[in-house]
Each structure stands twice: as C-alpha cells, then as structure tokens.
Structure 1
Amino acid sequence: MSFTGKYQLESQEGFVEFMKAVGLPDDMIEKGKDIKSVSEIEENGNQFKVTVTTGSKVLTNSFTIGQEADIETLTGERVKTIVNREGNKLKVVLNRITSITELVDANTLVNTLTLGGLVYKRISKRVA
C-alpha cells in the first residue's frame, strides 16, 4: 500500500501529557489539543515528503528511506536521523522520541510517538 494521500486527524490519545514532556508551552498545548491537523504524504519510491498542517503551523519534512535526513520535530528542533520502512510502517527515532507511522488499511494512518513511558497516539483518516 502507498502512503500517498491526505489524512485528517480523527482522534488522539495522550496529547497533553506528551507535549508537556517534550517541553511545549502550556498555551501552545491548549491551542493545539482540539485542532484537527492534516497530514499530506507524497511517496515516490523510497522518497517521501510529509507535510503536517496544524492550524497556521506547517511542518514539512522530506527524506529517503534508509538515508540520513534532517528532520524537524514537533518542537521545531532539527535532528539528523534515518527513517526506516518495515512493510506498512515508517519508523524513526528523534532524540528520545520513537515515532512509528503505520498505514493500517487503505484509509487509516496511525502515528504512535513514544517517550519513555509516555505514548501519544494519533489516528487519521484519508480525506484525499
């Protein structure tokens, strides 16, 4: 299955606790907790471009599977890392955060971020 498409956040678990742990200010957490972000993924072979729009904030990362890339995190920090693919899962470690993005079926994208014992899970549905 191809990741290519546009996905809108449908539900999330653990947002507030996770964002506090990564150091996001309370006012940004409060503003962001009810916004339904949109993720747009372009997959071309092993090359990916991921754009996440949350309100007025747009975060875009481009990478090639298995090659080092400069990735911007949720907090705006840039990290050199390698994104790997295992079937329908994209896995990456950003400092202390492990991110797994899984295409569970043709229309459902699940992103699970783990930091120590904290888990932030986002479930998005394909809209285009």
Structure 2
Amino acid sequence: MAFTGKYELESQENYEAFLEAIGLINAKTDHKVVTEVLQDGNSFTWTQTIPNWTWSNKFTVGQECELATMMGSKFKAPVTMEGGRISIQFPQYHFTAEIIEDKLIMVCQVCSIILKKT
C-alpha cells in the first residue's frame, strides 16, 4: 500500500514512558506532530514537523541507509518491508510503520515499552 500522504497525529499510547526509556523526557511536547511521507517506488522521504522543528530521513527499502535520530545523530541501518510494514532498527528502539484504513500507524519499541502513534 502506498504511504504517500500528510498525516496529523490523532493519538499516541505510552508516549512519556517511551521518551523516558530513551532518555528524552525533556523533549516531550504537546504539539501535534505532522508526518509527511513521499514514496517513489521503494524510495521514501519521511518528514515529521512541529512548530520550530523538523526531522527528515530519506531511505530506500531493501538497502542499508544513512539515517538520523530525532536529536540529529547519524547512523546506518537496513530498511526492510514485509507485508506492507516498514521496519528500521534505530540505535535505541525498533521502528515500524504501516497504513491501516488510510491511517499511518507508527510503533516504536524499546524493551517492553511500546509507543503507538496513529
């Protein structure tokens, strides 16, 4: 399923616990995050925006890509897709994303803490 679109955060579960687990509790914000995804075949540009801050990554499914964390640290990781779900191992957590009923569902997991964003 195509990911291209602009998605505004509707809900999130375990947000504060997740930020605490990865040491970013001071990064907590009450702003609604807007995620814009541009997909061209297996290539993606993934951008998240709140007022005064933007975080963007470009990657290609099936390749090891240079990516950046929310705080700007660079790392390399393979990007995979299985069953329509993108999967990336960030340094501190595992990220997946998929489209369900025209909604972008993003899941970040660190240990037993699962952050789910719709």
The TM-score, its normalising length taken from structure 1, stands at: 0.86
C-alpha contact (below 8 Å) 1:62/1:71 kept by paired residues = yes
CA distance in 2, matches of 1:21, 1:74: 14
Deviations along 1:23-51, one digit per CA (max 9) or x if unpaired, are 1153x32xx1x211000001001110001
The answer for the alignment partner of 1:88 in structure 2 is 84
CA distance in 1, matches of 2:114, 2:74: 21
**Aligned residue identity for 2:112:** G
Greater than 3 Å deviation, 4+ residue runs: none
Alignment RMSD (CA, Å): 1.2
Unaligned 5+ residue runs, structure 1? 124-128
CA distance in 2, matches of 1:60, 1:10: 20
Instruction: Determine whether 1:37 maps to 2:37.
Output: no
Residue 22 of structure 1 and its aligned partner are, at CA, apart by 1.1
The TM-score, its normalising length taken from structure 2, stands at: 0.93
CA distance in 2, matches of 1:86, 1:117: 22
**Aligned residue identity for 2:41:** G
Residue 95 of structure 1 and its aligned partner are, at CA, apart by 1.7
Q: 1:51 to 1:98 in 2, by over 3 A?
A: same
Unaligned 5+ residue runs, structure 2? none
C-alpha contact (below 8 Å) 1:22/1:75 kept by paired residues = no
